[in-house]
């Protein structure tokens, strides 16, 4: 039986407990390009809202995407005047590049972003990040297409948005309702494991991140939002839509080929410590049934075509055996890849051998049915033979699925009990222990240590990152060897091409 018992690289989600610490809980990133007029009103409005309504420490980070107007000067002035505001400049454009760079270097346990026009009502911000703080969800998105959302925008953009999301549902089987609303949040531990898999550096970054997270089994929380379209938006709709469609094709091809290591971004079953030893939890039964039915339907058509062809020059028993053998090999290969998600050549021969055993059972059922038909009628019509074979194959199909799931393609729990996360922290950012083993008791603090409360800038505090069997204690800015470094957050590019002027993107 396939299970969810593999822990992957992410520990179980946990509530970030309240306490005193020097790290902000929330880091809101505002990516901007030539926004000298809107940047200051946006930041002041967002800062006032967070000061008034958000119960924990926060940071607002302005990510300048190579602006050529006075946006960098406005960002620098805001940083100097407001303690909670930081600014960072990238020398290349790209919203995805800016978000990846800032999120990867941030030390806040909850990372968010919103568009500079603040089209989304800020009252949705606390409901957006609350499920991430509580440990209920891994990512959270604002949805303009939810039933209770209230949206004001033109018919053209409404049509484009809904069409794009229908394309995502049809091509990538996306279940989230709104991929491109500029109002999202993610847990930092999830971002560390997920962002290296996201290739896009532009507007498709959001969609790619959500699709990969959903395919990896992470939980995405949706918040209905009130949203008013900005008539002065600088987004080039046609160009953005073209790039998005290219991204859909690229991600779809990667998912179909199995080249994405999504097992690195999985969660163990049971966030309660008492549930983490549960084994043999069924995984993806509904999806497997759908995939098996699709493959089975196509295989049945293929089998009937082969049977009709072989029947032209052989008896019914020989034609049935040959058609069933060829279709069984194709059926096993298709189910191995598409239904049960087994990639690579490893074990392929063994799977085909086991599939032939299943084939023998199907052959016995169908041959027995034909023998019974021939015993009842000396010269049955061809249509009658086909009807009997279809009925026999239906019975064989149910048995085939059970044998495939429990015997041919079971989840054998190849992963060990221990797994390690490689954190993408910058050298000066606080480093959190992510060595994952079975927890020794139910009392633990979570991967980020105590949850900060909003207060005047504290002294450098001690972080306790006891989560599993490995405990690391340090103070912000202190290295493992006991020396001290600059504790100022330095934003480092995740990939070399993020600041490489030779990169054409």
The tens digit of pLDDT for each residue in 5-35 reads: 344 567 777 777 655 556 899 999 999 998 9
CA distances from residue 1 to 31, 284, 355 in whole angstroms, order as listed: 45, 11, 16
Mean pLDDT of 428-450: 39
User: CA 432 from chain center: how many Å?
Assistant: 22
Mean pLDDT of 56-76: 92
Q: Is 69 left (phi over 0), alpha (psi -120 to 50) or beta?
A: beta
Of 57-61, 358-362, 412-416, least confident by mean pLDDT is 412-416
Q: Is the pLDDT of residue 133 over 60?
A: yes
CB 239 within 8 A of CB 202: no
- Higher-confidence residue of 359 and 115: namely 115
Mean pLDDT of the chain: 75
- The per-residue pLDDT for 270 is 54
- The per-residue pLDDT for 153 is 80
Could you tell me the end-to-end alpha-carbon distance of the chain, in angstroms, rounded to an integer? 45
Q: CA-to-CA distance for 445 and 18, rounded, in angstroms?
A: 10
Q: Where are the strands (E) in 48-143, listed by range?
A: 58-65, 85-90, 110-114, 139-143
- The per-residue pLDDT for 418 is 36
Joined tokens for residue 295:
């493959």
The burial of 58, by beta-carbon neighbours within 10 Å (0-12 exposed, 13-18 middle, 19 or more buried), is given as: buried
Q: CA-to-CA distance for 48 and 46, rounded, in angstroms?
A: 5
Q: CA-to-CA distance for 172 and 204, rounded, in angstroms?
A: 14
Read off the pLDDT of residues 253-291 as tens digits, 9 standing for 90 and up: 888 777 888 877 877 655 555 555 555 545 567 777 777
Res. 110 pLDDT band, cuts 50 70 90: very high
Mean pLDDT of 135-154: 88
Q: CA-to-CA distance for 350 and 163, rounded, in angstroms?
A: 44
- Return the residue matching tokens 């109002």: 183
- The per-residue pLDDT for 5 is 38
pTM: 0.59
Packed helices 382-403 and 285-310: angle between N→C axes, nearest 10 degrees: 150
- The per-residue pLDDT for 256 is 79
CB 276 within 8 A of CB 20: no
Q: CA-to-CA distance for 433 and 422, rounded, in angstroms?
A: 10
* Of 234, 185, 227, 184, the residue nearest 33 (C-alpha): 234
- The per-residue pLDDT for 411 is 63
Res. 142 pLDDT band, cuts 50 70 90: very high
Q: CA-to-CA distance for 134 and 154, rounded, in angstroms?
A: 36
- Higher-confidence residue of 379 and 54: namely 54
């Amino acid at each position: 039986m396939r299970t969810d018992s593999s822990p992957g690289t992410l520990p179980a989600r946990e509530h970030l407990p309240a306490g005193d610490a020097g790290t902000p809980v929330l880091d809101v990133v505002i990516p901007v390009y030539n926004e000298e007029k809107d940047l200051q009103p946006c930041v002041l409005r967002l800062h006032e809202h967070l000061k008034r309504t958000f119960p924990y420490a926060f940071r607002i980070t302005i990510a300048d995407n190579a602006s050529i107007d006075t946006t960098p000067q406005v960002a620098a002035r805001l940083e100097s005047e407001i303690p909670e505001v930081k600014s960072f400049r990238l020398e290349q454009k790209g919203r995805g590049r800016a978000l990846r760079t800032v999120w990867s270097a941030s030390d806040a346990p909850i990372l968010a972003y919103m568009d500079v026009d603040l089209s989304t009502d800020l009252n949705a911000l606390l409901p957006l990040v609350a499920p991430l703080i509580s440990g209920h969800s891994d990512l959270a998105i604002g949805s303009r297409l939810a039933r209770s959302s209230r949206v004001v925008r033109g018919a053209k953009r409404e049509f484009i948005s809904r069409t794009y999301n229908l394309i995502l549902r049809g091509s990538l089987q996306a279940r989230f309702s709104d991929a491109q609303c500029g109002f999202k949040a993610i847990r930092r531990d999830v971002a560390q494991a997920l962002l290296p898999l996201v290739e896009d550096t532009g507007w498709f970054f959001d969609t790619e991140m959500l699709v990969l997270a959903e395919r990896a089994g992470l939980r995405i929380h949706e918040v209905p939002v009130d949203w008013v379209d900005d008539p002065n938006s600088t987004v080039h709709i046609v160009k953005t839509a073209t790039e998005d469609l290219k991204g859909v094709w690229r991600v779809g091809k990667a998912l179909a080929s199995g080249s994405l290591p999504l097992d690195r971004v999985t969660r163990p079953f049971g966030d309660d410590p008492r549930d983490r030893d549960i084994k043999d939890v069924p995984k993806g039964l509904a999806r497997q049934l759908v995939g098996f039915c699709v493959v089975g339907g196509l295989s049945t058509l293929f089998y009937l075509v082969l049977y009709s062809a072989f029947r032209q020059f052989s008896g019914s028993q020989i034609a049935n055996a040959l058609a069933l053998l060829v279709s069984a090999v194709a059926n096993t290969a298709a189910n191995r890849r598409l239904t049960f998600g087994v990639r690579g050549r490893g074990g392929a021969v063994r799977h085909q051998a086991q599939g032939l055993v299943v084939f023998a059972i199907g052959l016995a059922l169908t041959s027995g049915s034909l023998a019974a038909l021939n015993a009842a009628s000396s010269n049955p019509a061809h249509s009658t033979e086909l009807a009997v074979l279809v009925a026999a194959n239906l019975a064989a199909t149910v048995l085939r699925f059970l044998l495939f799931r429990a015997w041919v393609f079971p989840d054998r729990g190849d992963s060990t009990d221990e797994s390690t996360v490689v954190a993408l922290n910058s050298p000066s950012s606080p480093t959190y222990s992510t060595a994952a083993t079975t927890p020794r008791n139910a009392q633990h603090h979570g991967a980020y240590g105590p949850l900060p409360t909003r207060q005047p800038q504290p002294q450098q505090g001690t972080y306790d990152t006891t989560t599993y069997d490995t405990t690391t204690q340090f103070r912000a800015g202190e290295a493992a060897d006991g020396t001290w470094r600059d504790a100022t957050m330095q934003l480092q590019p995740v990939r070399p091409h993020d600041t490489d002027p030779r990169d054409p993107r």
